[in-house]
Amino acid sequence: MKIKQVKCKSGLMGWQTKLQNNYANFEEFQSYSENYGISKKLGFSSDMKAWKANPVIQGSVNPSDFKIVS
């Protein structure tokens, strides 16, 4: 799975993909996570745990749409 379009909870069209597909590498993800609290928003205690779990995530321009999906 690369990136697919989905309708988010807000009603906006957004995206869905595996966490690692959304970033070039761990260092890039870690930088964003440190600035925006991504790992914590997804329920992980560390950036490395989130990276290793590599969950399917989705989001849109609305920050409330950012989440893990099953």
Task: Report pLDDT digits (tens) over 50-70.
Answer: 999 999 999 999 999 999 998
Q: Which domain holds residue 61?
A: 4-68
Q: What is the pLDDT, as a whole number, of residue 70?
A: 83
**pLDDT per residue over 6-48, tens digit each?**
999 999 999 999 999 999 999 999 999 999 999 999 999 999 9
Cβ-Cβ contacts under 8 Å for 28 (sequence gap 6 or more): none
63 φψ region: left (φ > 0), alpha (ψ -120 to 50), beta (else): alpha
Count how many domains the chain has.
1
Q: What is the pLDDT, as a whole number, of residue 1?
A: 65
For the whole model, what pTM was predicted? 0.88
